[in-house]
Amino acid sequence: MKFLCVQCDAAMELVEKNDPQDGTLALQFKCPSCAQRVAMLTNPGETQFVRSLGVQIGHEHIAAGPMSIVRGGLTDARPGAFTESSAEPVWTEAALRRLSSAPTFVQPIVRKLYSDFARSKSYAEITPAVMNEARDALGMTGM
C-alpha cells in the first residue's frame, strides 16, 4: 500500500516515524515533487494489527508483536484446512423415505440443503438424525 499525492500523483515518502510506548504509531509522509505532507496516527488496536501483519512502512519493517504467532499460523496452515470435502454424502434408505414425503417439486432443493449441511459437517451419510440436526440448525424446527 502506498500513499499518493493527489496533486502530483507521486508516491509519498516516509519522513518520520514516531513509535511512543503508549501503543500508538504516528507516521509522516512527504511528496517528493511538491513537498506536501500527510500524517497518519493509529490507535493501539490498529498499531497491534499493523504489527501482527509484519507490515513494512517506508524502508523500515515494523517489528512483529505478540500476534506474530497467529500470522505464522495462517501462513503455515495445514494443507486442506480451509477446503471443504467434495465427497458426496450417502443417503440412507430411511432418509430417502423421509425425503420422498416432501412435495416432488421441492425434493431437489431439500436434497441439496441436507447434502450441503452434511458435507459442511463432514458427515459420510445422511440419516433422519442428520436431517433433524440440519433442520434445527437452519431454524426450521417443527417443519
Of 64, 45, 46, 42, residue with least CA distance to 55: 64
Task: Say what the pTM is.
Answer: 0.41
From first to last of its 143 residues, the chain has per-residue pLDDT tens of 677 888 888 888 888 888 777 878 888 889 999 999 988 888 888 777 766 766 666 555 555 555 555 555 555 555 655 555 567 899 999 999 999 998 999 899 899 999 999 998 989 999 999 999 998 888 777 65
Q: What sign has the CA pseudo-torsion 106, 108, 109, 111?
A: positive
d(CA 101, CA 46): 55
In the CATH scheme, what is the homologous superfamily, with its name and number, of domain 90-137?
A: Proto-chlorophyllide reductase 57 kD subunit B (1.10.8.550)
Q: Where are the alpha helices (DSSP H) in 84-127?
A: 93-100, 107-120
d(CA 6, CA 16): 20
d(CA 12, CA 70): 31
pLDDT digits (tens, 9 = 90+) for 58-82: 555 555 555 555 555 555 555 655 5
What are the residue boundaries of the structural domains of the chain, listed by start? 13-74, 90-137
